[in-house]
Structure 1
Amino acid sequence: MNKGSVQREEMGAGSSTWWFDARGLDDAALRQAVERSNCTHLLVDHSALKSITSAKKLVVWVEKVGDLSDLAPSVSVLTPHEEVRKAAVASGRAAGLFIEVRDLEAEFPYCVMVCERGDDFVVIDIEHATYIPYELLIAKTIGKKTQVLRSVPIKGLARVVDDIHQSLNAFATMEHGIGVVFRSKDVAAVDSLSKNLRHRQASIMNLLPARVEEIQHTGLGHRVCVDTTSMMSAEEGMVVGSTGWGGILVCSETHHLPHMNLREFRVNAGAVHSYIWGPDGSAFYLSEMRAGAEVMCVDLAGRARVVSVGRAKIERRPMLKIRCSVPLELVPPQLQARVESMLEMQERVTPKGERVGSGDRRVHINTFLQNDWHVRVMGADGKVRHCTLLQPGDELLAHVDDPGRHTGLRIEENIIEK
């Protein structure tokens, strides 16, 4: 299993690429926001190129073939003219067309042709929010290097859909997504797009083998079913635990139920007081789950994706406490150092011959689940376990984390959880 904190995977081609359109904008604070963002390219005017210093890949807007002569080979070219694109490619540069579609029915065949021929990229602007034409263009570029993008703000959506969600919708088109050429004078908008995109990208959560230490029947309590707007696979679930130290992987309802239909969108997650892990290392109480909230859906390899909550269903049910532990040598280094420091402090003040604290170097995790056979958790061997059949000594998959939280966000603090 993976060790360490949440790690970001490489962005999928076409699913999260965004450029910033800096043409005609000269704002130092805005430029700094763009530089610290996760945008990949900076689009600039030819006249401003010599004054631009950026770590981003530069794309120059060019309208005349003669303006290509003083460009460095590393600079890409975006142009509305086919003859300029051809000349740029002939000179060894990456280049693509900007196509502003005014008559979709008449001009769409040309857009398809451009996408099929395998240009480096193409920016195609179609009015309004429809993504059906882009879905067709994505299908035409499967297996090709061409990156399809559109400009944001989108024509016809001003003051209707905000620029951030216009962009996020583009990234999600047909799962593959199209790229975005983003234009804004607002520093907060640049920061927001970067943050929203980062926490929607696929990530890895460290999952470790946790030994079951104790099973306790705890009577009636309120448990939460988290129903999402996404279908989950048999290998997926959510991380749920009673403390900020971590939780176990509770399976989605994708496994055989003898008396009812499957609910592949659901995780029967646990007691209302429990934490459930969300984007960017956040953790929220299950009682806070409501329509529109975002949580992490995690598979047995630790691959995680953000899913939206459609509803939270809270009912009184018999509950089961599962107490697990993870050897200290398996946990992330920063957490291991924190626990070791606490143990060393205890050892310094404990007379020789006396027992030191708990006496073991393990991180302990509690999880409360509905006491029912159909609620499953993921075993460390990649096989599901019925929670009612668990016994001490069984091994489950668990996520171990720093415990400090304030309104769900991680903070550094001294905290005791029992």
Structure 2
Amino acid sequence: MSGRAQLMWDEAVTGYDFGPGHPMDPVRLSLTMRLVEALGLHKAMDVVAARPAGESTLRLVHRQDYIEAVRTASSDPRAADASYGLGTADDPAFAGMHDAAALIAGQSVGAAEAVWRGDARHAVNFAGGLHHAMPGAASGFCVYNDAALAVARLLELGAERVAYVDVDVHHGDGVQAAFWEDPRVLTVSLHEHPHTLFPQTGWPEETGAPGAEGSAVNVALPAGTGDAGWLRAFHAVVPELLAAFRPQVLVTQHGADTHFEDPLAHLTVSLDAQRMVAEACHALAHEHAGGRWVALGGGGYAVVDVVPRAWAHLCAVAAGRPVDPESGVPEEWRDEVFRRTRQLGPLRMTDGLRPAWRDFAASGYDPADRLDQAVLATRRAVFPSHGLLP
């Protein structure tokens, strides 16, 4: 196995563009890559462009009629069929949509292949993590579900146990749906509570189909949860489950929209806590999955202040070249930000916080704390299926 990490990148992924005013602005991808380059991280990684996912690969998750509907809308956006979630406010049809979405999917599938075959220990596709797309419909800015396709490809290559951990602010509903009946895949999602955020799913009681009980894990966090609660919930659920499940590969989704500046959600997590969770996922991959780690991007709509720094840290962790949070943001990158957006970029690679949390097992359950109530609900729902005490 190569000691270097792979960074999946093709500038053409920025063609995944729903148009002016849409929150999923592709500038967040190009600015992330420019920051990775300005920090010199690309020199510590193998930068690789994979081919777009072909139809046989897309069919690992998506229905043929849906793929055909995407192709039709891609050729003529006016012909988009809303019954497939296309041509909606969330997922407007645009020319070339199929090609752009298939290219992003191809990068995640390529990342999974590289890690499984030992070409790389870790692989990152920050353009990916489009976790809402369903087998037969677009949803939540997501056309093809690259995260589910990466997991499905790992299974096709012979993996017997794959763990998927999603820390996006929104429930990883499309990935959960794809593997709802498959006990080979453990899907774990930490997200804002369904009462207050799209897609209104991800309740702790959603635990998998009969025969796959405990394979779906959902931690529904109260709106307003910040660093201490977010980290407490992550460490109260994820490490024990991974130790029990013993995955051969860890796939993680790192949506940056948990951040307190994100305009579309209501958690109050800092960039510094996001970096700490990336570090925790890296450590867990080495502890439980032989170091095999596929890391994806996801949501994130503070496209200048948050997303590029969050995913640059993710790349740095994967590359084994962590960036000192107190270090300054390279001036040439801030110049690029102003040229592209007429906004002033952040000055440092930190929000200036030093997050800490109380360990759930050591400190005990507080029945009056809404965060602890959420954690305990999840542990009670799924831990017994894995032979663990709630």
- Fold match by TM threshold 0.5: no
Which one has a larger percent helix, Structure 1 or Structure 2? Answer: 2
Larger Rg: 1
Which one has a larger percent strand, Structure 1 or Structure 2? Answer: 1
